Amino acid sequence: MKISIVGAGYVGLATGVGFASMGNSVICVDSDGAKVEKLKQGVLPIYEPMLGEHLQKVLEKGYFKATTNLSSAVRDSDIIFICVGTPSKPDGTIDLNFIEQASKDIGDALKDSGNQPVVVVKSTVVPGATEGVVVPIIERHSGKKAGADFGVCMNPEFLREGNALSDFFNPDRVVIGELDQRSGDVLERLYHDFKCPILRTSIKTAEMIKYASNAFLATKISFINEIGNICKRLGIDVYEVAKGIGLDKRISPYFLNAGIGFGGSCFPKDVRALIAIAKKIGYEPKLLESVINLNETQPLRLLELLKKHMPDVRGKKIGVLGLTFKPETDDIREAPSIKIVRELLKQGAVVKAYDPKAMDGFKKIFPKVKYCSAEEVLESDAVLILTEWDEFKKLDYLGKIVIDGRKIDEAKSARVYEGVCW
């Protein structure tokens, strides 16, 4: 099939490279010219395991192209995926600016085209946005009718950064929210070779499935962090407790890693957007608000523990190991490290930091931090572990003060060792 992808970020690239690897002809469009130039040369603009190797293969085979010219890319497509960002506004509501712009551009491009593609929203959008925002804009700009002249689906993405391509090839399920049966049939044909359940729903239901999934996972993390905070006071290792409860099939062992809270580009913004939409329609989502509130304060618990061993950090060298919200990505969006480093600097500490993939990105927010090797970070007065990168297991923590937010057991050899929830 001929596929175009609007937005070549984590989701757009994994989707584009994934479908191209399956023999489809893919054009990725991005408004960021520098990103597109890199892609054309086979260079991945983000860090994501396996994706770079696959990108080079599909480029060589001619199955993958990148461009800034949306109009030429979408004109001949059977399927157009919208994969642009949907960030939070300061009040927590979803910012649909990128979605609106992409919809306008797609509408303009379809105006003089005889093609009848299916437009698929893959970006995470609040229930009602595909039919209430995307469809009317495309109709207005193309002069064409959804369901007659072009198809519409909402196909939420569940991939995890750090595992994006492997999640693309092996999803737990594919959800197809369809405007009409033809649109759903076309998209289902694209997913024909996937060995997982395919769930066909209304568009609004598909949009809600994505929010409910992320809200549930965020809740599970805040839940185990709360149990961990109680365990810490009782002298119990929450990881043993998690093992014990995770053996219950109704609970499952996943997402029970207590620590300094969730971050990234999805959980915080998606839970906030769900809270905002619930309030807008007159419902007070108390559970979801608690999930966010607990997550706001969880990173700072590490600093409370540091205080036990170092009452005043002013002028002290505090080392930070790990800046990304999780390992195997370069993404620092809403990472707990941001809150922790900001607070340390505010209290007058000298911060030294190391991360295998995210130091360039972090430098843009915190130019005053001293970026160095992991070994140099260990030479600080105290060390905080903020991401569970594998390489941190091999460091020599002997004689150090370590406050661990991510359960690196090897760090227990430190002179002083404190785990945030254990």
Q: Is 98 in the site for ligand NAD (CB under 6 A)?
A: yes
> Contact between 39 and ligand NAD (CB under 6 A)?
no
Window 217-276: residues binding ligand NAD (CB under 6 A): 265-266
Instruction: Please say whether the beta carbons of 332 and 397 come within 8 A.
Output: no
For ligand NAD, which residue of 11, 120, 203, 321 counts as binding (CB under 6 A)? Answer: 11
Would you count residue 386 as binding ligand NAD (CB under 6 A)?
Answer: no
CB of 413 to ligand NAD, least distance (A): 34
372 included as an active-site residue:
no
Among 93, 101, 201, 290, indicate the residue that binds ligand NAD (CB under 6 A). Answer: 101
Q: Which of 395, 297, 303 is nearest to 341 (CA)?
A: 303
* Site membership for ligand NAD, residue 47 (CB under 6 A): no
To 5 degrees, how large is the angle CA 383–CA 321–CA 317? 40
The minimum distance between CB 314 and ligand NAD, in angstroms, equals: 37
Residue showing tokens 């399956």:
22
Token pair for 146: 């959804």
For residue 77, give the nearest of 46, 119, 108, 47 by alpha carbon: 119
Mask of contacts with ligand NAD, 140-179, x by CB under 6 A? -----------------x-x-x------------------
Among the listed residues 28, 153, 266, 421, the single catalytic one is 266
Compute and round to an integer the Cα radius of gyration of the chain: 23
Output the smallest distance, CB 311 to ligand NAD, in A. Answer: 39
Examine residue 8 and tell whether it contacts ligand NAD (CB under 6 A): yes
Residue choice 25, 67, 86, 324 for contact with ligand NAD (CB under 6 A): 86
The token pair that represents 246 in the structure block: 């995770």
Question: How many other CB atoms sit within 10 Å of the CB of residue 314?
Answer: 9
Q: Does 110 bind ligand NAD (CB under 6 A)?
A: no
Number of shown-chain residues binding ligand NAD (CB under 6 A):
28
Instruction: Report if residue 380 touches ligand NAD, rule: CB under 6 A.
Output: no
HSE, CB side, 13 Å, CA atoms: give it for residue 347.
21
Is residue 124 within the footprint of ligand NAD (CB under 6 A)?
Answer: yes
CB under 6 A: which stretch of 99-107, 295-303, 305-313, 352-360 binds ligand NAD? 99-107
Cβ distance to ligand NAD smaller for residue 11 or 256: 11
User: 68 or 202, CB closer to ligand NAD?
Assistant: 68
Q: Which residues pair with 354 in a beta bridge?
A: 321
- Nearest distance from C-beta of residue 353 to ligand NAD, angstroms: 23
| 6 binds ligand NAD per the rule CB under 6 A | yes
CA 267 to chain centre: 7
Q: Applying CB under 6 A, which part among 9-17, 144-152, 343-351, 364-372 lies near ligand NAD?
A: 9-17
Applying CB under 6 A, which of residues 27, 39, 66, 84 lies at the interface with ligand NAD?
Answer: 84
Binding of residue 31 to ligand NAD (CB under 6 A): yes
Beta carbon nearer to ligand NAD, 265 or 380: 265
Tell me if 127 contacts ligand NAD by CB under 6 A. Answer: no
30 makes contact with ligand NAD (CB under 6 A): yes
Stretch that binds ligand NAD, among 5-13, 287-295, 362-370, 401-409 (CB under 6 A): 5-13
Q: Choose between 18 and 228: whose C-beta lies nearer to ligand NAD.
A: 18
Q: Point out which residues bind ligand NAD (CB under 6 A).
A: 6-12, 29-32, 35, 70, 83-86, 98, 101-102, 105, 123-124, 157, 159, 161, 265-266
Residues annotated as catalytic (active site), given as ranges: 266
